[in-house]
Structure 1
Amino acid sequence: MSALIYRRAFTDTFGLRTFAGGEVPDLESVKRRIFITERRSAVDRPDHFYKNYLEVRLGRLSSVAALPWRVLSALAERFIERRNGKLCIRAGTFEDWREALPMISPIAVIVAFLVAEGRIAGDDDPRTRLTDDLGDTALLSPSNPLLATLIERDGLNEMHMHLNGATEADILWADAVRYPREYHDELMAAQIRAHGLTSQLYDQIELGLTPYEIFRRLRAARRVRHAMAEAFRQPQDRGQAPLNMSRLLTLMNVELDDREADFEPIAPASDPPVTAIWAGTSTALIDEGAFLLACLSAASQPGPLQEVMGLGLYFNLLVQTLVGRISMQQVDEVGFDQFQKYTVIGVRERLERAYEKRFSQLNIGPPHRVLTHLEGRLAPKNSVEELAKLVDSISQGWLRFRGCPRLSEARGLRGAAPRCMTGQFCGEGCAGGPSTGRDNSELSLVVHFIKRKLAPPSGRIPECRDGPLRADLARQADVVHALRQRHPFAAQILRGIDAAANELHASPEVFGPIFRRLRRDRDLHATYHVGEDFIHLVSGIRASAEALAYLGLGSGDRLGHATALGIAPALWLGRTGERLVISRGEHLDNATFAHALLSQRRGHERALSNLRDVIARRSAEILGEEHGPHLLHEAWRLRGLDILELLELERICDLEPGDAMATAAAANFRAEAIASPSRQDELRRLARAGREHPLAFRLFRQRHREQVVADQLVEVKTTELDERDLTAMQDLVLGDTNGAGVVIETLPTSNVRIAAYRGLADHHLFRWLGIATSDLSNRPAVCVGSDDTGIFATSLRNEHAAIFEVLTGHYGRPADEAIEIISRLNATGFAFRFRPLLQPPPRRLGSA
């Protein structure tokens, strides 16, 4: 609540269009649009609630030029303080601060605090002081001596983070405004790849917004920024008058290119504008902070530059907020479909081709001593050479970050991984120094295969569900296997496999064959994104159970997210409504799964009766005849079989699809005739299924032939199962998870953005811990990760800080108890991490 109105101050896209036409927007119109935008954030409050906030916070402004200082200084006063010489977020305001970050530049608020504080002299180059205060990140944390001591003693264990998508929005902005043409090219390339998904995001921000319009605004912002910086030089340096309003509006006009606007900066246009004030450059974040500090200092004090600096800053912040708006998921954009738009928009790709600065940012320093273990996710590639290049680039970034003297000899994944990647004291000058991180820090990589819908080749009828994706995954799995066979270095640090992206696009059964194939190879661990987003809560619970059943997850493995196993059913039911739309096939699968699960406990007779009716009706519609729940569940359990291997067997042996006995005999014969151990395993699984479950095998095969009716959408009641039924289902699957020795990775901020939560206090972690409620008899082992730190404007330290604040502030737990909970979560991560190998594995011959 403490950021209301202020957080919307720089989101006025209509005002930005006015500026871009060379005119100053009317102050009262700007305030009206801020009110309307904030009003839409919660429609259950009356107008006067927001109007009163608007009057208190922006009521007595003299002009739009006064907006930047008024807003940023107020936010700084509300959120930021200095304790023991360190900048931090005020106690009790952290959740409000984190919710404001997608709409407000944190570096701008921090600089406003520094200006008000008055510690940095106006004429001195402030970048050394800024580096001392910020290091490599603008994502401040609350002052928490207990958490700081835990980090100093043990370090944090990052269990789930995507290496791409990690760069902070302030750093993205500084790069985009320096290189608007290159930024535009990246947006255009992403728009072609994403098939209209990015256009949805542009229209959410501003109807009719295009990459070219963004480019024009960035180009204008670059002109304005250089002119503002040059205004601090003595006028006689170039024989020009100081910057005035007329000149500023000309530079803002996006209809003009640089030449038409008579734009000739002192330094090259791609240089940070701060170089026109103080010589040399620092990091992008620090240079941006120094530029803002000079401008905000002038805008906050009466003088010849106050008005023009205020107006220039307002235009700058409007364009910056637009760039931030397409870089970070907003708090009112719920669900994975919204999140996925940010993963494909293309704003980070060029900047994130190198990794060194990301490791510095994540470790928060200097000294960079936050992380003991970092598990970075990366996407697979279509050739060994491409994947080797990516792994080498990540490794080189790590070794540069560590200052490792073995950097050059390790290039190209040669030899063994340096000890500073595997948690050992290197003893070669790259560990233990003031800026290179913890002595025992280690890096592991996890390949996350992508859940997606792939169309079949032109003109071909699909032979099975997800056939094109299955074939693509098999090729990529071969690449991963070949890389680890060819490069012992890669085998040391590439320690796990995963599957990420929109789980509505592919289910766990699709990934079963490649998980089994790769896990024959040198002790690879596995985790799986699941139960994160779902049409029905039962769908998410079922997907979590399928990951356990089909992927062979066991002791030492993990599930990512598993929100469906934690979210309170009453909360989900209340926020979903009485009815929803789902496919006939998913409805049948859910009913079959729920019936099998609830049959294990007494007291669910009404639900079981209703489920039998659903199963009978839907099976008749989809399969042409009614089937009972037990047979359908038996067929459900077979879905982890390799359907591509079955299709190949049917083709070679001329088998009738669904002939279980003939398939069993052919599969056994074929297994003896081939050399690949993994294919032998899959064939024997097919043989066993056909021999032991002939009726279920026929239904399994039929499912891959009868798709049209199953995919038709129908409207159903969410209350077919009540809160008690859903809780029992969660509890039973959590019991299976614990029994398998599987740990759950929880990603708090990510889940709040994607699930039905309105704040972190709603998060299922506290239910799993038995703090929010004690309605689960099976509580899972849990570790913490940050997911996509750039898109969610977070860090692992801030994830733990936010959990701590909810434990103490919302649930009233004492600080010592809260830090003990944090410590246990962190220790679970350390115990179940996918640890890099200390030595290269022995070479093996043959295929997986």
Structure 2
Amino acid sequence: MSMQAASVESVISTILISNYRILELFWEKDLAFDFQWSVLRERTYLAFQPWAARYPDHIFEGSWHSLENKASGHCILLAALDALVREFIEPSHGDSRVKQEMMGAWQQGIVSRVSVLPIKAAANAAFIGDHNLNSEELRGAYRSSDVAEVPWRRTLMPVLHYHESIVEEYIKKEGLHEAHLHLNGSTFAETCWLRALRTPYTEIKGFNAAWKGNRKKPSMPELVAQVNPELGPARLFHHLRTAARLRVWLRAIVENRVLPDAQFPFSLAQLGSSGEDEWTVGLIDILPEKSEMRDIQGELDWMTTLIVRLRQRPSIIHSRMFHAYLLLQNEYCQLLVQNEQQYGFDQFQKFTYTELRESAEAEYKARFCTMHGLQTNYSKVGYLEGRFAPKDTVKKSEHLLRAILGGYLEYLQDASEESLAMGRIRSASLTSLLSLLDQYFRTNGQDHRRIHRLALVVHFIKQAWSPGHGLTSGLYRHYGLDRDLRERTIVLLNCLKLWPMLRHWIRGIDAAANELHAPPDVFAATFRICSRAGLTRRTYHAGEDFRHILTGIAVIYEALNFLDLRNGDRIGHGTAMGIHPKLWLERMPGNITLPRGEWMLGMLAAWKMARDIPDLVALTNNLQRELEEIACQIFQRPLSSSAIERAMDLRGLSRLDVMYNQSEYKTSKGESFGLLWQEERELVRKAADEQPQDMALLWEWLSDKKIQMRSEEFIVIKSAFLKTDC
């Protein structure tokens, strides 16, 4: 598929319906004020410039005037939505789809920044034509004839994509094999938005707590400031309350529930601050049903009807209210979805800190229904691999597994043609849920096309570490993570003992999160323990986020070796091995700053790989020289590359047992993990007997505070290191 960037017109259109500068302009103004294009130009330009700074100003000016000319008398909002529909959407068999050649630009530049719902609604309105249809007629006009009704249809987000007949037929016959769905963090932003409108205080409670807790670490406020520099918990709550009230008014307009003599709100500021008995004056039947919290289809319906009405009977105040609603909606959605300007895992991780999905994701059924799709007779996914983070107590683990498997059982019940007599699923014990699931598949056989089969993968979380003194860095490198992994591994395996039927569902393990926070060797003991316990399917995320391409490749190499990954196991992403070095160099500055120890390990891996290739003798010698020079800086004495290799190859040993073996800390003074880790202790004892000097050097690397500090000091390396020096 050829890739095409979004046009400047579409970028401007996206800004007009999503940027905080436009929202600020609207906030205090009379809702009946007719904004001209010239009033919005400066704020739009300021938002556009960082996005496309390489363009000269005449590019923006030309596109701005072109968009204004195409408006043809329509309001600014409809002009922006129409521009997006024209560029990206086309009709297809009674529905709308993304143009194939525009799919890349659509995913990166548009739907990562704005909700797809108003664009879908504008497409519906455009392709239906200017017919005077009511809501029910609109739904009928734009419902694909071959889509069967499923119980959860109204809760599903309409995903706009291009259609490929061969792919669609394959999905229908075989189903997709979804190998990587994080069960937490995958709820559509629009679903979270509707929940937040209904119960704003509940939905942002976690956000408030995280905001207060993160004031010393700026990650979350940094994300919020990117969306709106003035946004905080109080203002977010006020915006949600204003949006909820706007929505009540807009739906009343669509459904003709506004009294003829009603006084519309003067401004957004007034609407949001009015008392409960003031803002509803002039409306009929204002209380929405609780089901609207999940009614995505209802949201699309009223938006489509409103756009059709605005085309037929333009209204400044109706248009302004709708425009303001979309600005508030997209502000919230930008706190949930990473866009194309937010590169790297660090940016991604900031979204997890907001906790704006936490309330919506306490229940899991909705995600299983979403993966199933709209068809009643088959699921679009054949096998679903759901991933979750392990807990640190059996009680917490039981609660989480009950929620996941209970949600899956509820999905099976809804997807079945006959109701399953299963009682109150949500109050069932984990033992009962496992028995009910076993009963379901015994009764219904292994025909998985009607539903999707679930397998669970436990993904351990990498954690940041920094050197220091005392308790800040622990007794050795990644001490906190190492102890946490042990604790969660023991809890996981205890759960498998307490509920043996869990082995049918929990199929493997993974190590995920920020790759720069921890290397593969920290997870080696955990992977071995889990493998001995029967969890033999392993994944490790490596080579996606890296400072230098050589260190990215090194992490993949170390994951393969330290974790003993084999056929059927998986490296998550592995971009460093796939990206062309020339492309990487073109996108990087001339110099890269990275920790000295990270560079040493990168040189070690590169040297070990290069020395086996006869044509790379000169390169091997240069890598060896660089390795020994960096190691000398860290250890403050000359070390041969062979000595470094032997010691670093032992990093996969159980660190706690290495400490007991190599220091004054003895096993009797530490925690005992029983027989579970006995084989790990034997591996350490054997290495100490056979390689005493190497073990001593390893322990220096792991525990010496000065060595830790020197290895974590940042140094400058040329991006084209091999090309220039080797």
Range of TM-score over shorter length:
0.7 to 0.9
Tell me if 1:202 matches 2:213: no
* TM-score normalized by the length of structure 2: 0.87
Moved more, 75-84 or 204-213: 75-84
Moved more, 591-600 or 437-446: 437-446
Tell me if 1:533 matches 2:545: yes
Contact kept, 8 Å, 2:248 with 2:286, in 1: the verdict is: no
Judged with a 3 Å threshold, the aligned counterparts in structure 2 of structure 1 residues 71 and 381 are, in CA distance, closer, same or farther, namely same
- Please give the alpha-carbon distance, in whole angstroms, between the structure 1 residues aligned to 2:159 and 2:565: 35
- Structure 1 position 7, deviation (Å): 2.2
Aligned 1:670-709 pairs, distance under 5 A: 676-704=674-702, 705=704, 706-709=707-710
- Structure 1 position 576, deviation (Å): 1.2
Partner letter of residue 690 of structure 1?
A: A
**1:249 paired residue number:** 267
- Please give the alpha-carbon distance, in whole angstroms, between the structure 2 residues aligned to 1:457 and 1:294: 64
Partner letter of residue 680 of structure 2?
A: E
- Please give the alpha-carbon distance, in whole angstroms, between the structure 1 residues aligned to 2:240 and 2:451: 43
- Structure 1 position 320, deviation (Å): 0.9
- Please give the alpha-carbon distance, in whole angstroms, between the structure 1 residues aligned to 2:454 and 2:41: 49
- Please give the alpha-carbon distance, in whole angstroms, between the structure 2 residues aligned to 1:586 and 1:710: 8
- Structure 1 position 446, deviation (Å): 0.8
- Structure 1 position 171, deviation (Å): 1.8
Find the residue that maps to 1:11 and give its secondary structure: coil
- Structure 1 position 90, deviation (Å): 2.4
- Decide which of 162, 167, 180 is 1:147's aligned counterpart: 167
**2:408 paired residue number:** 398
- Please give the alpha-carbon distance, in whole angstroms, between the structure 2 residues aligned to 1:335 and 1:460: 26
- Please give the alpha-carbon distance, in whole angstroms, between the structure 2 residues aligned to 1:547 and 1:616: 23
- Please give the alpha-carbon distance, in whole angstroms, between the structure 2 residues aligned to 1:721 and 1:452: 31
Query: Aligned residues, how many?
Result: 689
Tell me if 1:48 matches 2:46: no
- Structure 1 position 291, deviation (Å): 2.1
**1:376 paired residue number:** 386
- Please give the alpha-carbon distance, in whole angstroms, between the structure 1 residues aligned to 2:522 and 2:395: 26
Judged with a 3 Å threshold, the aligned counterparts in structure 2 of structure 1 residues 167 and 417 are, in CA distance, closer, same or farther, namely same
- Decide which of 7, 11, 28 is 1:21's aligned counterpart: 28
Partner letter of residue 216 of structure 1?
A: H
Contact kept, 8 Å, 1:21 with 1:254, in 2: the verdict is: no
**2:330 paired residue number:** 321
Contact kept, 8 Å, 1:549 with 1:637, in 2: the verdict is: no
- Decide which of 360, 381, 384 is 2:369's aligned counterpart: 360
Judged with a 3 Å threshold, the aligned counterparts in structure 2 of structure 1 residues 188 and 126 are, in CA distance, closer, same or farther, namely farther
Judged with a 3 Å threshold, the aligned counterparts in structure 2 of structure 1 residues 533 and 234 are, in CA distance, closer, same or farther, namely closer
**2:561 paired residue number:** 549
- Structure 1 position 710, deviation (Å): 1.0
**1:441 paired residue number:** 452
Aligned 1:416-815 pairs, distance under 5 A: 417=434, 426-427=443-444, 438-439=449-450, 441-453=452-464, 459=471, 462-650=474-662, 676-704=674-702, 705=704, 706-722=707-723
Moved more, 358-367 or 151-160: 358-367
- Structure 1 position 419, deviation (Å): 8.8
Deviations 1:24-62 (A, max 9, x none): 566423233223323322322222122211111134659
- Structure 1 position 261, deviation (Å): 4.6
Moved more, 222-231 or 185-194: 185-194
**2:133 paired residue number:** 122
Contact kept, 8 Å, 2:82 with 2:122, in 1: the verdict is: yes
**2:150 paired residue number:** none
- Decide which of 170, 179, 187 is 2:207's aligned counterpart: 187
Percent of pairs with identical residues = 24
Give RMSD over aligned pairs.
3.2
Tell me if 1:7 matches 2:14: yes
Find the residue that maps to 1:469 and give its secondary structure: helix
- Structure 1 position 123, deviation (Å): 2.5
- Structure 1 position 527, deviation (Å): 0.7
Higher normalized contact order (CA 8 Å, seq sep 6+, divided by chain length): 1
* TM-score normalized by the length of structure 1: 0.75
- Please give the alpha-carbon distance, in whole angstroms, between the structure 2 residues aligned to 1:425 and 1:141: 37
Judged with a 3 Å threshold, the aligned counterparts in structure 2 of structure 1 residues 126 and 452 are, in CA distance, closer, same or farther, namely farther
- Structure 1 position 264, deviation (Å): 8.5
**2:191 paired residue number:** 171
Gaps of 5+ in 2: 1-5, 148-152
Contact kept, 8 Å, 2:242 with 2:268, in 1: the verdict is: no
Partner letter of residue 225 of structure 1?
A: R
**1:344 paired residue number:** 353
Contact kept, 8 Å, 1:421 with 1:442, in 2: the verdict is: no
- Please give the alpha-carbon distance, in whole angstroms, between the structure 1 residues aligned to 2:68 and 2:591: 43
Judged with a 3 Å threshold, the aligned counterparts in structure 2 of structure 1 residues 258 and 572 are, in CA distance, closer, same or farther, namely farther
- Please give the alpha-carbon distance, in whole angstroms, between the structure 2 residues aligned to 1:369 and 1:440: 5
Contact kept, 8 Å, 1:583 with 1:711, in 2: the verdict is: yes
**1:815 paired residue number:** none
Deviations 1:254-301 (A, max 9, x none): 4555456566965565647xxxxxxx8594211211221232122222
Q: Which is richer in helix? A: 2
**2:94 paired residue number:** 85
Find the residue that maps to 1:198 and give its secondary structure: helix
